[in-house]
Chain A
Amino acid sequence: MTSKLTNAQIAWRAAQDLPDGAYVNLGIGFPEMIAKFKPDGREVIYHTENGILDFGEAPPAGEEDWDLINAGKKAVTLNDGASFFHHADSFAMVRGGHLDIAVLGAYEIAENGDIANWSTGPGSVPAVGGAMDLVHGAKQIWVVTDHVTKKGEPKLLKECRLPLTGVGCVTTVYTSLAVIDIVNQRFVLREKLPAMSLAELQAVTGAELVVEGTIGDLIVPEV
């Protein structure tokens, strides 16, 4: 098995696809890293569910204002042109189709675009936050994830087994091994690690990888 991408490298790869002028919501945790790798020269405006549009980087330690946080309850700063709004307006931006891209993590993604990312099943305290709204709001739903689980089992499946967050909503999956678009309810392989054969990639993917045209090389710098 060839060496897989780190989470930071997956975030870097996803960031290269951020278009200039996009309104984007980055999920808590791993997806937040994408902001750090946005290519220079593109202006992207970040939305956070708790009522800020156009927030910036974290402040230096000691300069946090805890009334100025993102959905992950981390301190942020404001860019010039930022705005505050209440939660109903915030989710009007989400469900109303005003966001261009929302990026989430996931436990499982199915070839029809279903996503499971909120519950590992009975026995835990369920918590959904804004994920169920985000997956039905943004024009594109990206997932950033390891290609397989910690046990090495596929996360990209024919059908999700865990409780669903949303149905038929994911448009692109950026994994530790590949970039995959979901088109007409199938996984269409856009890029893969060049050192990995299609057969090797298929072996760790739980549904058919469709190849349309050429497969690009997934080449990411050390970050």
Chain B
Amino acid sequence: MNKICPNFDEALAGIEDGMAVMIGGFGGAGAPIELIHALVERYKKTGSPGRLTVINNNAGNGAIGIAAMIYAGMVAKMVCSFPRSSDPKAFTDAYLAGEIELELVPQGTLAERIRAGGAGIPAFYTPSSYGTQVADGKPIAEFDGKHYVQERWLKADVALIKAEVADRKGNLTYRKAARNFSPLMATAAKTTIVQAGRIVEPGEIDPEQVITPGIFVNRIVEIPDPKQEEALLREGAK
């Protein structure tokens, strides 16, 4: 078993028009910038993959990462909790022009929908959003005297995530708060593609320290010294 891919072309193979793509990260922490930019480059060269549904907590910042995908015109729909950032122009302009669809999901509901998708749970009830516009049209049920909103699982064709360390079997660790949605997304996509800052031999990651077990990972590409989205933005990246 060897999940390591030698290059982006192999790592990103099979991502097609209209697919749902989960992208790890919360703001800049955990954003797999190199994988995203390789996909944007592919779209600019070949016109594919377009009309993507992108699932992330946010909707891009500045002109890099998910914002670069939006500017390139490859995103049809965003599923997120907070489509604002220090520079949200890419999403805001596209949204107000009616060029991009938004499914707004409370952050905890987004996390749990992804967890449910990866765990084979088609729906669940949450107190979040009860009595608000966000619950419009969703089934409501009462449990022990309180009202809850039914939410459905969320799955994707592909997840793009950033890990700190990986081994060829797909075991992953993350760096600090860059973990956020990535362990959940790894479980909820048909194909989970990882960029890892370092690849080590199996056994070198202490089994007690593995955060994402390898069964959830399909492909790994090594990106030593990866860029950090927030740091790039602060350096004035365009």
- The answer to whether B132 touches A88, judged by C-beta atoms less than 8 angstroms apart, is no
Closest 4 CB pairs of A and B: A133-B108, A91-B108, A167-B131, A87-B111
- The answer to whether B29 touches A132, judged by C-beta atoms less than 8 angstroms apart, is no
Instruction: Place the interface of chain A in its size category.
Output: 35 or more
Partner of A67, one of B91, B111, B131, B178: B178
A92 to B87, CA, bound (A): 30
Q: Which residues of chain B from 167 to 196 have any CB-CB distance to chain A below 8 Å in the complex?
A: 174-184
Partner of A166, one of B131, B229, B231: B131
- The answer to whether B84 touches A95, judged by C-beta atoms less than 8 angstroms apart, is no
A8 to B197, CA, bound (A): 42
Q: For the complex formed, measure the closest distance between the CB of A46 and the CB atoms of chain B, giving whole angstroms.
A: 13
Stretch at the interface among B3-11, B66-74, B99-107, B198-206: B99-107
A111 at the binding interface (Cβ < 8 Å): no
A165 at the binding interface (Cβ < 8 Å): yes
- The answer to whether A84 touches B95, judged by C-beta atoms less than 8 angstroms apart, is no
Main DSSP-derived SS at the A contact region: loop
A119 to B132, CA, bound (A): 11
Known: A66-B230, A86-B181, A91-B107. 6 other contacts (CB 8 A): A49-B108, A51-B180, A66-B28, A68-B177, A86-B179, A88-B112
Query: A68-90, CB under 8 A of B: which get 1 and which 0?
Result: 11000100000000001111101
Chain B: CB-nearest residue to A116:
B132
- The answer to whether A129 touches B130, judged by C-beta atoms less than 8 angstroms apart, is no
- The answer to whether B112 touches A69, judged by C-beta atoms less than 8 angstroms apart, is no
Complex A-B: 20 CB contacts under 8 Å:
A51-B177, A52-B177, A66-B28, A66-B231, A66-B234, A69-B29, A73-B230, A84-B176, A85-B179, A86-B179, A86-B184, A87-B107, A95-B128, A114-B131, A125-B83, A127-B82, A128-B106, A133-B107, A137-B127, A164-B132
A87 to B155, CA, bound (A): 16
Chain B: CB-nearest residue to A91:
B108
- The answer to whether A132 touches B111, judged by C-beta atoms less than 8 angstroms apart, is no
Residues of A within 8 A of B181 (CB): 86-87
Q: By the criterion of a CB under 8 Å from any partner CB, how many residues of chain B are at the interface?
A: 54
- The answer to whether A125 touches B92, judged by C-beta atoms less than 8 angstroms apart, is yes
Q: For the complex formed, measure the closest distance between the CB of B93 and the CB atoms of chain A, giving whole angstroms.
A: 10
A119 to B129, CA, bound (A): 13
- The answer to whether A130 touches B95, judged by C-beta atoms less than 8 angstroms apart, is no
- The answer to whether A130 touches B107, judged by C-beta atoms less than 8 angstroms apart, is yes
- The answer to whether B134 touches A128, judged by C-beta atoms less than 8 angstroms apart, is yes
Residues of A within 8 A of B96 (CB): 125
